[in-house]
Chain A
Amino acid sequence: EVQLVQSGAEVKKPGESLRISCKGSGYSFTSYWISWVRQMPGKGLEWMGRIDPGDPGDSSTNYSPSFQGHVTISADKSRTTAYLQWNSLKASDTALYYCATHYYYYYAMDVWGQGTTVTVSS
């Protein structure tokens, strides 16, 4: 079974750094893109960016202009895990974050993680 399992909820203070994870199993992790999606409290879905876990070069990631420079998406093939990282959190980063893979269909996010809640508060 193709599955994405995300790390647990986080509570952080403004200015702190954070990395959340998304572990893939049941498929060839390096063969399929993984996207990250944000959902702020009571709001809609926003595509943040995606990574090709099998591409070791800089071209392996695409970011939405809205998130470029604010987050970093990476992946560790040996751990079959993708990451979403912040160097300095803001209160406005409080949200539910989903990872999703493009496993069955190249241009659709067809298998989703369960979501990770990030709360940033002083």
Chain B
Amino acid sequence: QSALTQPASVSGSPGQSITISCTGTSSDVGGYNFVSWYRQHPGKAPKLMIYDVTNRPSGVSNRFSGSKSGNTASLTISGLQTEDEADYYCTSYSSSSSHYVFGTGTKVTVL
């Protein structure tokens, strides 16, 4: 099972918007609306930021939004802040053996 494909790095200035892509196949991203996004700061456990493609957990800023088109999901961070500098991972449910697959991860840098 191959990892979902994410860009290695994305950067933006404070206040700008950035988008991180997550490309899979029809067996995972394209086949289910069960894509989640996680933020991980150095030395910390991951934190859920988006679930089921577009939904924000309670307490997560509305600057974070998710979408999907075909086999590619996306996470958009608007109004970029220094605290957004972290690694971001997508994950999707996969029909293969009823399991999950993570993305390769994207390092977000706030310039």
Contact = CB atoms under 8 A, between A and B. Distances in A.
Q: Do A and B bind each other?
A: yes
Interface residues of A, number: 26
Interface in B50-64: 51-52, 55, 57
Q: Which of B32, B45, B55, B96 has the most CB of A within 10 A?
A: B45
Contact of B99 (A45, A64, A98, A115): A64
Contacts of B87: 44
A45 B96 contact: no
A44 B101 contact: no
Nearest to B37: A108
A44 B36 contact: no
A100 B55 CA distance: 19
Nearest to B55: A105
B102 A107 contact: no
Interface in A61-81: 62-66, 68
Contacts of B32: 107
Nearest to A68: B97
B1 A65 contact: yes
Interface of B: 1, 3, 32, 34, 36, 38, 40, 45-48, 51-52, 55, 57, 87, 89, 91, 93, 96-105
24 contacts: A44-B102, A44-B104, A45-B46, A45-B105, A47-B100, A47-B102, A62-B97, A63-B97, A63-B99, A64-B100, A65-B1, A65-B99, A98-B45, A105-B51, A105-B52, A105-B55, A107-B32, A107-B34, A107-B51, A107-B52, A108-B36, A108-B52, A109-B38, A110-B57
Interface of A: 35, 37, 44-47, 49-50, 62-66, 68, 98, 100, 104-105, 107-110, 112-115
